[in-house]
Amino acid sequence: MSRRALVTGITGQDGYYLADLLLKQGYSVFGMLRPELRQDFSRIGPLEDRLSLVVADLRDRQSVLELVERVAPDEIYNLAGNSFVPDSWQEPIEAGDVMGLGVVRLLEAIRTTNPAIRFLQVGSSEMFGQVDEEPQNERTPFRPRTPYGAAKVFAANAVANFRRHHGLFACTAIAFTHESPLRNKRFVVRKVTDAAARIKLGLQDKLVLGNMDAARDWGFAGDYVRAMWMMLQRDAADDFVVATGEKHTVRRLVEQAFGHVGLDWQTHVEVDPQFFRPEDSTTLRGDIRKAQAELGWSPEVHFDGLVRMMVDADLERVRAETT
């Protein structure tokens, strides 16, 4: 019988890549939808007829319990949550309820229905917040500076405690920023690749950005969901930093994206200080030695290739939309 995986956040970027990977491995994949009628199915569209979709509410203990009972999964991947960090200042209670307590509801449902279910929580480099050391590893202290980061720290602590106290196979992937052609345009990499494509095709003139020296450890979502899956296939549960270990600036991102379509970025990009983020951390860079040594995982797509992949996908999409 095929293994059964439950994936929350199925409609998101990582939901698509993880579901694709799991289906290719022969899993029966169950995707959790939230009850609100505002879902965007465009990302999982190509996979939809091979997925079973189930509705549940991570804010409701009974709903989560019934979900886990009904699906009876072998593995649960918790990807759900608003990934746009600044929104958590507008909705701090929702952030804590869904991304913090929601994880405890899942862990409790596992403990009371079938403690053999393996659980993967997606944590975030935002959990490190203000850091004194670079790069960050699994022992770097968490000092989150946003409600998003605080909720993810609460969740990571719950995962570690349920693992220790109840013996659950529960792990946190401390994921650094990751992108793909499916990334929402609110995030800077996609904003840049989309603009490069639109400017190349004569549909846009300018791109306005904030701090060009802001730097990130940017990876490819397809690589990161592979690490998440590998974490649940080990003999023992543990937490891992999932990153590239490299940092690049917004300036380099823009050079790469515009250069790929033969444009000089300096002609098209304007810098507006109103887009500078006061808490813009440029010190986040992951130390992936543990993932390399113990998981046998390394990222396969590197920064320049990632940017080119996204620009090409945006060119194709914009062309299709306009012809």
Q: Does 140 bind ligand NDP (CB under 6 A)?
A: no
DSSP for residue 143: B
Q: Find, among 79, 103, 99, the residue nearest to 22 by Cα.
A: 79
* Distance between start and end Cα atoms, the chain: 46
Position among 4, 5, 6, 12 found at the interface with ligand NDP (CB under 6 A): 12
Position among 113, 124, 136, 244 found at the interface with ligand NDP (CB under 6 A): 124
Position among 4, 7, 9, 119 found at the interface with ligand NDP (CB under 6 A): 9
Catalytic residue among 124, 180, 224, 255: 124
Rounded to 10 deg, the angle between the 250-260 and 188-200 helix axes is 30
Q: What is the dihedral of CA 218, 123, 295, 180, to 10 degrees?
A: -30
User: Which listed range, 63-71, 79-87, 129-137, 304-312, lies at the site for ligand NDP (CB under 6 A)?
Assistant: 79-87
Q: What is the smallest separation between the CB atom of 240 and ligand NDP, expressed in angstroms?
A: 13
Nearer to ligand NDP, 9 or 96 (CB): 9
User: Which listed range, 6-14, 231-239, 245-253, 255-263, lies at the site for ligand NDP (CB under 6 A)?
Assistant: 6-14
Segment 54-73, which members bind ligand NDP (CB under 6 A)? 58
Phi-psi region of 49 (alpha: psi -120 to 50; beta: other; left: phi over 0): alpha
Active site residue 224: no
Q: Does 146 bind ligand NDP (CB under 6 A)?
A: no
Active site residue 17: no
Active site residue 28: no
195: phi then psi, degrees, rounded to nearest 5: -65, -40
Nearer to ligand NDP, 110 or 225 (CB): 225
Each residue 31-50 as x (binds ligand NDP by CB under 6 A) or -, in order, gives ---x----xx----------
Nearer to ligand NDP, 58 or 171 (CB): 58
Q: Does 80 bind ligand NDP (CB under 6 A)?
A: yes
Catalytic residue among 126, 179, 180, 224: 126
The Cα–Cα gap between 46 and 44 comes to 6
DSSP for residue 189: H
The Cα angle at residue 37 between residues 31 and 40, in degrees rounded to 5: 60
Let me know: does 216 contact 258? Beta carbons within 8 Å: no
Q: Does 14 bind ligand NDP (CB under 6 A)?
A: yes
Let me know: does 106 contact 120? Beta carbons within 8 Å: no
Q: Six-digit token pair at 3?
A: 């293994």
Q: What is the smallest separation between the CB atom of 13 and ligand NDP, expressed in angstroms?
A: 4
- CA–chain centroid gap for 234, Å, is 21
Each residue 171-200 as x (binds ligand NDP by CB under 6 A) or -, in order, gives ----x-xx-----x----------------
DSSP for residue 29: E
Segment 94-113, which members bind ligand NDP (CB under 6 A)? 98
Let me know: does 71 contact 55? Beta carbons within 8 Å: no
Q: Six-digit token pair at 278?
A: 């006061």
The residues that are catalytic are 124, 126, 148
Binding interface with ligand NDP (CB under 6 A): 9-15, 34, 39-40, 58, 79-83, 98, 122, 124, 175, 177-178, 184
